[in-house]
Amino acid sequence: MKEHSFFLEASFTDKNKEFKNIAHEFQNEFSKILENIVNLANNNLSQDFLQANELVTKNTLEAESKSSELTTIPINTNITKKELNLQSGNININPLLVNNINSLNTKTLNLVRNLIHFKKDVLNQVLTCKSYTTNYPLLITHIMNEAKMYYDLLLKVQKQEQFSPNYLREQELFWNNIMKEHAVFIRGLLNPSENKLIMSANNFANDYNNILKKYLNNPTTLTNISLQETINFRDFKIASEEGILNCQIKSIIIPLLADHVLREANHFIRILRI
């Protein structure tokens, strides 16, 4: 959510200074919450989670620094440095930890709800030709849907609801669709001369579309096919991010977006493996 706010801020022109300021405030507020969470998380995380590289990758810090330099939008890289030093451990569930997490979850729910409303406002402004942004309307819808999913997930945690097999299936379908949209965005944000990369991104978009259609009623096959496809897509994203950071790929993809979508692929892979 912090990075969504950054992407929104970076996409507005000076005419939409009010939107830029709102997005920047969201980034600041999510940064505060994230820093608190990271402090609580040390020694309270599984090794599997840390090894999945869904929190940070080896390039996250560089992607943040480069994106901040290119946009002049400040990013609190100290949070990322703390994330890189997080340790796993035996989770010590105690009343103080539970109360701290509960308090943070309540703040986060309110903030995410407000961010969803903001994204809706931005999308409506763009679709009615009242505002201009360098973000595709589909990308704004994409990050709005992720915010809605996160809000619903966090609400279940707060209410201590059991996660049903149907919910897990919905998550699998949700992330398959997210991967498909990532491929579509990458395809559209690459320079038209990058024919091979555009073709590869297009193939991934078609693959995910076919997976969602063909294996919808075959859960086991869906999971296995999704896992292999996402591992391949993850590898493509790794190569793409390094090409963008090294200025070897022509595109309008900001480095932090390249790292962001890579971490989401890593997250999905961990879910599928479980």
User: 176-196: per-residue pLDDT in tens?
Assistant: 999 999 999 999 999 999 999
Query: Which residues pair with residue 251 across a beta bridge?
Result: 190
pLDDT of residue 92: 78
DSSP class per residue in 184-230? HHHHHHB-TT-HHHHHHHHHHHHHHHHHHHHSTT-HHHHHHHHHHHH
CATH of 1-44+89-161, one of 1.20.1260.120, 3.50.50.60, 3.40.50.720, 3.40.50.150: 1.20.1260.120
pLDDT of residue 48: 92
Q: Does 169 or 236 have the greater pLDDT score? A: 236
Q: Taking the model in full, what pTM does it have?
A: 0.96
Is 39 in contact with 31 (CB distance < 8 Å)? no
pLDDT band per the 50, 70, 90 thresholds, residue 24: very high
pLDDT of residue 65: 98
How many other β-carbons are positioned within 10 Å of the β-carbon of residue 105?
16
Q: Does 94 or 26 have the greater pLDDT score? A: 26
